[in-house]
Structure 1
Amino acid sequence: MCLYDTEMNPTSIKLLKSIAEGKSHQTELMTLLSIGEWQFNTITRELMHQDYMDKTNDVFIFKNNAKAALFHNIANQIDVEKLLHDSNEQIFFNLTEPVTIKDIQDSTNLSLRTIQRCMSEFESIGVIKKVDDKISIDETKEQLYLFAKLLKTENERRNIESYADIIYQDKFRILKKIPKDQRADGELTGFSLFYDYGIDYQTTHNYFIKQESSLRLEEILIHALLIAHKNKDKNAITMAILFYLKNREKMDPLDIRMIARSYGISEIWIDVEGYVRNDPLKNIDLFLPRNEFEEKARLYDIHSDLYTLPVAYPQLFRDIGKKLPEATEACLLGGENMRMKGLKDRTKDCDIVVDDDKALNNLTNTLLDLGYKSLNKEHFTNDDRRIDPFDILEHPARSRVDLFKTRIAGKLVLSDTIVQRAKIEQFTKLKLRILSNEDIFLLKSVTLREGDIQDLSKIVQSGNFDWKIVWDELLYQEHLTCMNFSSLVLESLDYLYEQTSIRSPFYRKLISRVLDHEISKLVRNREMPLDGIIELLKGNDITEKMIRNRIDYLERKKHVRKIKKGDQVLIQAKEKIVFNVYSNNPVDARDRMKKHVEQLSKYFVLSDEIKKYALELVDQVVDKGIENGRKPTGLATAIVYLATIVKGDGYYTAERIAKASNLSQPSIHALYKLVKRSLSL
């Protein structure tokens, strides 16, 4: 959905310039432009439709409005043809605020080459200024700025109902407020759908979203929060929170964060997470006092268990220790670990990890003896499935227990260094290891659950926190597991900095590590223009210079090579280098691919039919030898994507499935096409 559909051609601009210079008669203008009557009529009709000019008999004059007046004044000062021809106009009105080249690409969908050509023209007429990597209209040129704002407003209103109030708009979606007695293009969202999900909240208007993708529950929540935040309406923000609490088990917390960030309100959403947990907030003035919130929660039948929680330590562990059949070791992590150290008041569950089957069985059977019941995996929430505990046990009056074996949340393993740093407490037959704050910090950095950003802040500020331990353990975990956690940690640290201004001392080293990984992914199966890599990765704290330095580093290490083709520099992977780190142990590709299919099936809760079909495709791929020389998990990911298309409803996009496997979208599409073509599907 591209919202801009009108571009001025050079002839139209020359016509307006001629009128600005005092030419007005049709015959005179046609002669100056060297065009025929049919083309002249087409151009003038469009310019009159765009409110630039009027016609009386055969005489053309500028309209008496701000748009025409601004054009007239600007045309006398600069070369308006360079300013407005073709795609330049679209880029011009996107420079009312400082933006990066990547921002312009996102908002216009134009190619990098087109944008660069436009910027060169703008610089030649002196209409823009650059500060670091941000570009904007020169603020000293007031009329130019006003003209750009006017064009931008016109574009935003194009194809939108005249009675609509735009809440948010980008090139993919429009969120708008509509009077209740009016119709609108799009579908209802935000507060307009609250009643359907158990929250009876009446508003004076309806809210519509127009977008190409299907509306998701997480988007309804963020749309409501965006509307409430725009109006600075504390009561409406509270209603959005109640909607979240009522429907939390149906939503994915990572998806909520991602959507909030795409709408520019991630900071507000992190505060919502904190408010639910009664943590300190960055924007406290946006929220009702706690007692008023709790009163509203009671009115809407939101049980206090959803925002006030039981405690586990020490009584639960005393009871476990007395009932265990033999000496057993376990490690305490997560929120309960923090609560017992005085770093938080409550937590919704108690996370425990053990290192072998014997300890797992002992602990599970003891909890069952204490009245716990194992939660059927069919009842796992999206968050539960993502964290993927070995078992979840619930009790009507005690803390929920999430049990992990060796690997925590499908990511970090219980390493010897983590175990050695833990403090030991003895509860009869239970030896409980209390994980260090540094290890809790790293765990929370890679799991990104609700409220984790506030927890990270509390851990860092608890005193005697050692960042070096976090960095060393991150590197050790990536070595042990052959997985990339650096990108997840960087995302967490960015959230932490946005919310609290806390910056890790290894932040720059982490960016370099993430950049190396991202560059490697981009060039793994193809040549990539250097300029293209820079524009894809640049932004926030990542500068062009940093990206160039990392590419130079990878070239020195013989991981990549630079190739000159025409006027472009291309980056290519060295064939002998595999950028993803894998174990050197020989692994059966069929087994590895099937295991990855099983993991993805569990992660996305795919039907048995889709999983069975995907496993059959693995056998066919291996039998044909297609896997030779290719990454097994990459092929398995593409097979799952293919299976969801053939046997499913297309709900699982390539982007979502690729993201779950830490695979780029170009890679999954290439492998998908390879499998489909090789198997003649």
Structure 2
Amino acid sequence: MNSKILKELLINGRIDSGSLKKLKVSSYTYQKSIKDLLWLGVVVEGKSKMSVSLLDGQVSALLKRMFFDGFNVELLTKENIEWLSSLTDPKTTVELAGETSLSNAQTSHKLNKFAQFLSKQGNKYVLAKLNSSLFDFLLLVKNRSIQEFVWKNGEERLQSLPLDFPTDGILTGFSRFTEFGLMINPAFKQVYFPRKELSIEDVLSHAIKFSKNANDLMLCILFYLKNKAKFDVGKIEKNCEKLGVMGAWLDIIAYLEDQPVKHPGFFLLKEEFMQKARVYGIETSPRYGQKLIQAIFNEASKKASERIRVYFIGGNALIEHKAKNSTKDVDVVLASEKQSSILINALKKNGFAEVAERELQYNQLETSSMLQKKGFPRMDIFTKKICNALKFSKRMQERSKKMTDGRIELYLTSLEDIFLLKSVSSRDSDLVDCETILQKTVLNWKIMLDEIIAQEKNLKGIQELAILHHLETLEKRMNIKIPITKKISSICLEKAMLYLAKKPISIREIRQKIDFSETSIRNQIKKLEKEKKIRKAGKKPFKVVIA
């Protein structure tokens, strides 16, 4: 902040735009300094936007002491204060870079710039206590931020405020539920910073982060069900991962799927939840068991014009594997367009019809056909390829086991292949189903790795990242190590680098696109350079491009 502006404020207790000429500072400098002071909470705005008055408090008292002790307050920008306050506890360069969202190089530059205020403990840096006023000031700002903000990451903040409290953030979480059709009256105002347009996925994931009890999560579930057709599940998962509530999101889906949840205390009994849902006029998806599903195919077999093979690949397959008791839809794949057409015609003769309007997450599946009939599970029919990603290969077909004979021969896909196919899917329940599979059996990971490698050409762009994300999420949630994760990570990083380097791209830009560490990216660049697959272009900061 500007020293002239601060001095005027500390001496007179207030400052306004009339001070600009007197102090010989630009309008930009004045506004930036006032913005930093407002962020610190040491001033309050007057009637004019350009006027502020000094507030009494610990922060302003320490700021005043530092100024009159001769401290260079020009260093106390919002960015520097946040960065220095993160060093009240010892941190390595890598830890500091991760917490502050700066690159390793930018972090090293900052450490050199502020070296006079730091001390070193082994390979860790920490704020020195020689300047007690600075240390107390930064510790106070840090502790205040921890109390005020539910979550923060770089410039992003989530905050819960009294309803009448003024803010320059944008409403989110429960404060936006009514806007999307779920009429509630929250006791607090929930806000996101910085101000920007928020998606419905942002609103939901923020609400999950704000949730403190079973009633809060119940409202999140109802909001999800009310607007389910609009949601992109991949975006919800990405947001929840960033916010540290991926476990809560997966518990929500497990709860809806009648699967065990990790934290049952945060969920209402199902009967109580159903009563609440009816009050809000929300219907939950009905679920169906083995007998009805088998009856559907028995009847369809009577109407099939030729003998065909139908492979069970979804929740219906997990029922046959005794990993689930029920499902809301039936997923099958057939090896040719002709066979799919025969199955679709047979089902239509029995009253099934094409789904008129698909939910976003189901539209992303890119099925050959999606059929429905009142009182029956929805039928998702794939031909040759699942989710426009993996082919139902000859190897997968050979690993499947025959269940029934007749005009429609039913085959049960192996658990390894079901797990893999669900790993590239965009539906909410697929990750929870993968967890259920891991709880029920020991998988042959080599089969899956060999299948992924064999089908690399079918995985468009960087679709392997979806598989990697699911594996890493399951490792964290179940506290296990999946033996192929490291290899998949290596495949993903190399393919992602080659995909992104079709045009010149910097390391910083790469990090914004894919969630890999700077060190991993730099190592991959060296490897690909050595293999002459990419080359560096331009001066520092250099970019990489396909060789």
TM-score, normalised via structure 2 length = 0.79
Q: Report the Cα offset of residue 505 of structure 1.
A: 0.8
**Residue 216 (structure 2) pairs with residue 236 (structure 1):** yes
Which residue of structure 1 lines up, in the alignment, with residue 315 of structure 2? 335
Which residue of structure 1 lines up, in the alignment, with residue 46 of structure 2? none
For the 8 Å contact 1:79–1:125, the answer to whether it is kept is no
For the 8 Å contact 1:457–1:496, the answer to whether it is kept is yes
Change (3 A) 1:250 1:522: closer
Change (3 A) 1:253 1:77: same
Q: Report the Cα offset of residue 395 of structure 1.
A: 1.5
Superimposed CA distance per residue, residues 580-618 of structure 1 (whole angstroms, 9 cap, x where no aligned partner): xxxxxxxxxxxxxxxxxxxxxxxxxxxxxxxxxxxxxxx
Q: Aligned partners of 2:380 and 2:239: how far apart in 1?
A: 27
Change (3 A) 1:506 1:124: farther
Q: Aligned partners of 1:137 and 1:448: how far apart in 2?
A: 45
Which residue of structure 2 lines up, in the alignment, with residue 201 of structure 1? 184
2:531 to 548, 551, 557: 557
Change (3 A) 1:522 1:68: same
Q: Report the Cα offset of residue 8 of structure 1.
A: 5.2
Q: Report the Cα offset of residue 244 of structure 1.
A: 1.5
1:254 to 234, 241, 244: 234
| SS of corresponding position for 1:573 | strand
Change (3 A) 1:190 1:525: closer
Q: Report the Cα offset of residue 67 of structure 1.
A: 3.5
495-504 or 478-487, larger mean C-alpha shift: 478-487
| SS of corresponding position for 2:364 | helix
Q: Report the Cα offset of residue 491 of structure 1.
A: 1.0
141-150 or 249-258, larger mean C-alpha shift: 141-150
Q: Report the Cα offset of residue 148 of structure 1.
A: 1.8
Q: Aligned partners of 1:221 and 1:93: how far apart in 2?
A: 30
Q: Report the Cα offset of residue 519 of structure 1.
A: 2.8
Q: Report the Cα offset of residue 520 of structure 1.
A: 2.7
For the 8 Å contact 2:462–2:496, the answer to whether it is kept is no
2:349 to 339, 345, 369: 369
2:282 to 293, 296, 302: 302
State the identity as a percent. 25
TM-score, normalised via structure 1 length = 0.65
User: Which runs of structure 2 are paired with 1:419-434 in the superposition (5 Å)?
Assistant: 419-434=397-412
Q: Alpha carbon RMSD of aligned pairs, Å? A: 4.3
Which residue of structure 1 lines up, in the alignment, with residue 372 of structure 2? 394
Which residue of structure 2 lines up, in the alignment, with residue 150 of structure 1? 140
1:525 to 483, 503, 526: 503
Change (3 A) 1:545 1:166: closer
Q: Which runs of 5+ in 1 are unaligned?
A: 1-6, 25-35, 54-61, 158-164, 576-681
How many residue pairs get aligned? The number is: 515
| SS of corresponding position for 2:109 | helix
User: Which residue identity lines up with residue 516 of structure 1 in the other structure?
Assistant: E
Q: Report the Cα offset of residue 235 of structure 1.
A: 1.1
For the 8 Å contact 1:413–1:481, the answer to whether it is kept is no
Q: Report the Cα offset of residue 327 of structure 1.
A: 0.7
Q: Aligned partners of 1:364 and 1:173: how far apart in 2?
A: 49
Q: Report the Cα offset of residue 354 of structure 1.
A: 1.1
Change (3 A) 1:257 1:136: farther
For the 8 Å contact 2:315–2:330, the answer to whether it is kept is yes
User: Which runs of structure 2 are paired with 1:21-60 in the superposition (5 Å)?
Assistant: 38=23
**Residue 333 (structure 2) pairs with residue 353 (structure 1):** yes
Q: Report the Cα offset of residue 245 of structure 1.
A: 1.6
Q: Aligned partners of 1:501 and 1:174: how far apart in 2?
A: 29
| SS of corresponding position for 2:440 | coil
Change (3 A) 1:179 1:122: closer
Q: Aligned partners of 2:234 and 2:258: how far apart in 1?
A: 20
Superimposed CA distance per residue, residues 44-68 of structure 1 (whole angstroms, 9 cap, x where no aligned partner): x989998999xxxxxxxx9985336
| SS of corresponding position for 2:259 | coil
Change (3 A) 1:370 1:142: farther
**Residue 429 (structure 2) pairs with residue 451 (structure 1):** yes
Which residue of structure 2 lines up, in the alignment, with residue 413 of structure 1? 391
Which residue of structure 2 lines up, in the alignment, with residue 468 of structure 1? 446
**Residue 205 (structure 2) pairs with residue 222 (structure 1):** yes
For the 8 Å contact 2:151–2:159, the answer to whether it is kept is yes
Which residue of structure 1 lines up, in the alignment, with residue 114 of structure 2? 122
Which residue of structure 2 lines up, in the alignment, with residue 442 of structure 1? 420
For the 8 Å contact 1:563–1:569, the answer to whether it is kept is no
Q: Aligned partners of 2:154 and 2:314: how far apart in 1?
A: 40
| SS of corresponding position for 1:203 | coil
For the 8 Å contact 1:562–1:569, the answer to whether it is kept is no
For the 8 Å contact 1:310–1:398, the answer to whether it is kept is no
Q: Which runs of 5+ in 2 are unaligned?
A: 12-20, 44-53
Q: Aligned partners of 1:100 and 1:387: how far apart in 2?
A: 40
For the 8 Å contact 1:129–1:137, the answer to whether it is kept is no
